[in-house]
Amino acid sequence: MKNETYVISSNEKLARDIWRMQLVGDTSEFGNPGQFVNIALAGNYLRRPISVCDYDANSFTIIYKVVGEGTEKMSRMERGMRIDALTGLGNGFDTELCPKECTVVGGGVGVPPMYALTRKLVKEGHTVRVILGFNSAEDVFYEDQFRDLGCEVTVTTVDGSYGEKGFVTDAMEEGTYALACGPKPMLQAVFAKSSDGQFSMEERMGCGFGACMGCTCQTNDGPRRVCKDGPVFEKGAVAW
């Protein structure tokens, strides 16, 4: 973990309430896709955990949904402004556990971390099928970016206004190895349909680095901290 200051190089709207921010600075602590940063915002006591969508040697990208006070503040920040973040948090996805063929499933704001993951899987020679789920056409983002990685991409919307109508699991083959991030009901449905896989959890956090026990979830290996032992858990450990 590191505490670094980043300079915003862009902050733009991608879809309804969905924003992408690019930040320049030290990314030396960044590791597996699926890790997150914890962002300090002036006037808010707690930091905001946001997944790393992608990163390189001196910059990274986050995609966030405006849902409350903090993310609303973020959407008003401009190029050149500074952000303080704790970086290198969480375990992230372990691509070494993945078979040759696997399915990546992202739902809503669970999509961002799946981008760096997919890029890594493709680079390592996996055949990746990507399923992105949204509520409606106005919520869809990053379909092209995933396609540009050279994967087969299916988009589902609950109301059928874009892509295939239905839930991500409607587009998912039974019995595949799944890597998933999204709302809990989605994760549960993917869990049920998968043979094995890795699931990224979400929980309200006090610290984001393992000190407060605020984010604990029950697993088959006992209580585990989503921020430090997770957010990604193997299927065998997940206890809903």
Ligand X SMILES: Cc1cc2nc3c(=O)[nH]c(=O)nc-3n(C[C@H](O)[C@H](O)[C@H](O)COP(=O)(O)O)c2cc1C
Binding site for another protein (CB under 8 A): 1, 3, 40, 44-47, 86, 203-207, 209-218, 223, 228
204 makes contact with ligand FAD (CB under 6 A): yes
**Which one of residues 30, 55, 64, 93 is an interface residue with ligand FAD (CB under 6 A)?**
64
By C-beta, is 45 or 78 nearer to another protein? 45
Which helix (H) or strand (E) covers residue 49, if one does?
strand 48-51
106 binds ligand FAD (CB under 6 A): no
Find the shortest distance in angstroms from Cβ 183 to another protein: 15
* Residues 148 to 167 in contact with ligand FAD, rule: CB under 6 A: none
Among 88, 92, 107, 112, binds ligand FAD (CB under 6 A): 112
Beta bridge partners of 224: 217
Residues 82 and 50 sit within 8 Å (Cβ to Cβ): no
Residues forming contacts to ligand FES in the complex (CB under 6 A) are 205-208, 210-215, 225, 227-228
User: Over 165-208, what HEC string results?
Assistant: ECCHHHHCCCCCEEEEECCHHHHHHHHHHCCEEEEECCCCCCCC
Q: What is the contact mask toward ligand X in residues 198 to 237, using x (rule: CB under 6 A)?
A: --------x-----x-x-----------------------
Contact 15, 140 (CB under 8 A): yes
Neighbours of 15 (CB within 10 A): 17
Kindly compute the dihedral angle of the four CA atoms of residues 95, 96, 99, 103, in this order, to the nearest 10 degrees: -10
